[in-house]
Amino acid sequence: MATVSAATPGAPEEPGVMDKGLKKNAIGYLSNIVIGVASTAPAYSLAATLGFIVVVKGVGVHAPAVMLVAFVPMLLVASAYKYFNRADPDAGTTFAWTTRTFGPSTGWLNGWAIFLSDVIVMASLADIAAIYTFQLFGFTELGESKAAIVVAAVLWIAIMTWICYRGIELSARIQQFLLSAEVFILGLFAVVAFVKVYGSHPPSGSIKPSLDWINPFAMSFGDLVVALLLAVFIYWGWDSGVAVNEESEDPAEGPGKAAVMSTILLVLIYVVVSAAAQSFHGVGFLSNEANQEDILKALGTGVFGEPLNKLLIIAVLTSASASTQTTILPTARTTLSMAHWKAVTALLSRVHKRYLTPTVSTLGFGALSIMVTIALLLLSSSVLADSLTAIGFPICFYYGFTGIACAVYYRRELGKSARNFLLLGLGPLIGGLMLFGIGIKAAFYYSETANVESKPILGITLPLWMGIGGMILGAIIMIVSRPYFKEFFSRKTETAPPDVLDQPPPTGPVPAAVDF
């Protein structure tokens, strides 16, 4: 039987948002979109992943179709973010929402999943930023030196951490510049590639685009799922634009709409650029082992010629550096929110009096990222590659839970209209279940040593150690911490307040939620 209860003492007003000290109305809708798109690192993601998608058995020219199918669960989950943010524009996003819906244990684990995936990816982003910095300026020897790469990677993380620390406006302005350069270069690459393919002297091995390229039914279901394991990674990050909701104009509406728009922009970028890349020299060129690790660089000279081929180096460099920054932003705000909900130490709730940014959360994450980056870079390139694979597990975990939580949280609203049923219930539920399915398939696929680069440890592959093992570690930490955070772990589950979607967006404390 449903009852109306007051908020737990010390927790955010239900379903309003506790003031965390962040700067209000600091960024607009455009910045929300920019942060969301930039966080996915489109150029880097395509450069590092497209070749491996093409080489998956049964994919070939159908890589654009893989991009389209991977877009479906992302769009459906983005809808969940939009409507969750409408009721509860909390910077903790998935952590806060799954806590309300499924209880504190599930919420804590989802906060941990965000933290885990972000800290793992920092090493790869910083590594790419370091290598491409040296390539841009022609420092070949430094680009091949492990010590130089480690130093440069640490510097990149330190610089981006400092920018995030200095204020959200500075972060947003830099993101607009970096993303504009990245998207312009990718667009120019696609245009030039298609012009040359349709020209009087097309490149060797070139193939003209066909509608069959975007037909997912041309692949077997098993092959498609394996390719989706890779494609999910290149979409991950669009939710960063929602994590800065408390610092945004129209916090309950703008960031949620930006999440949906970000996924739409990403699918356009990925389908067009992947089609252009495989059209220029054919899939044989992309599947060549020598080209797989950096498809854009491999195509650069042929598409742009010398010295304009360095534009693609600039695209990947701006992509990796921008994503480094936009990875710090949401993680710091997730841990800040967890601290305000009294789920972790209060030290993480501190905000700079002048810059109005998280202090310990931002600087602490930057320092931890540096330590993890140094460790992974010093181990081996195969360990670094498998760390990227491992990220897929926490991504599927917290995106999947967000989609399912939306349907559960709004369950009493679903029967009021077909729109509610589809956009708040069925769509997010399907998106969440799709991502859980991909995560389960990934566990079986990457448990086989033939599908990973590094050697297994105690018979278990590194992606499972880092991805699933990392989530198990989070569960252990959560269990150990329960006695110290009793107030948080005693919270009750909730459902959406009646007619919350018909009311003006919440800007402060509002009536209590309904729990059961």
Rg of the chain, C-alpha, whole Å:
22
Mean pLDDT, range 88-99, rounded to an integer: 94
Q: Please tell me what DSSP assigns to residue 18.
A: -
Q: Is pLDDT at 7 greater than 60 in this prediction? A: no
What is the spatial distance between Cα 408 and Cα 390, in angstroms, rounded to a whole number? 28
The dihedral through the CA atoms of 118, 119, 120, 122 has a sign that is positive
pTM: 0.89
Name the least confident of 149-153, 321-325, 340-344, 435-439: 321-325
**Number of Cβ within a 10 Å radius of residue 484:** 11
Mean pLDDT for all residues in the chain: 88
Where residue 299 falls among pLDDT bands split at 50, 70, 90?
confident
Does position 14 have pLDDT exceeding 60, yes or no?
A: no
Residue 208 has pLDDT above 60, yes or no: yes
Query: Domains in the chain, please, with CATH?
Result: 24-505 (1.20.1740.10)
Instruction: Look at residues 372, 393, 382 and name the one whose alpha carbon lies nearest to residue 446.
Output: 393
Give the torsion sign (CA, 257, 337, 494, 514).
negative
DSSP secondary structure string for all residues of 301-345 = HHHH-TTTTHHHHHHHHHHHHHHHHHHHHHHHHHHHHHHHTTSS-
With 50 as the cut, is the pLDDT of residue 77 above it?
yes
- Residue 343's pLDDT band, with cuts at 50, 70 and 90, is very high
The yes-or-no verdict on residue 417 having pLDDT over 50 is yes
Number of other residues whose CB lies within 10 A of the CB of residue 146? 10
Three-class SS state of 191: helix
- What's the CA dihedral at 417, 419, 425, 427 to 10 degrees? 160
Does residue 508 carry a pLDDT above 80?
no
pLDDT, position 1: 33
Contact between residue 416 and residue 135 where contact means Cβ atoms under 8 Å apart: no
- Quote the CA–CA distance of 67 and 74 in Å, as a whole number: 11
- Residues paired with 515 in a beta bridge: 3, 494
Which tens digits make up the pLDDT trace of 122-163? Answer: 988 898 899 889 988 888 888 889 999 999 999 999 999 999
Residue 389: pLDDT above 70?
yes
Each residue's pLDDT tens digit, 19-70: 888 889 899 999 999 999 998 889 988 888 888 888 888 898 999 999 999 9
CA 108 distance to own-chain centroid: 18
Rounded to whole angstroms, how far apart are CA atoms 444 and 450? 12
CA atoms within 13 A on the CB side of 243: 30
Contact residues for 501 (Cβ-Cβ < 8 A; gap 6+): 83, 86, 87, 413, 420
Rounded Cα distance between 331 and 365, Å, is: 8
- What values do phi and psi take at 57, rounded to 5? -50, 130
Residue with structure tokens 């050697």?
Answer: 455
Q: Of the candidates 337, 256, 261, 248, which has an alpha carbon nearest to the alpha carbon of residue 86? A: 256
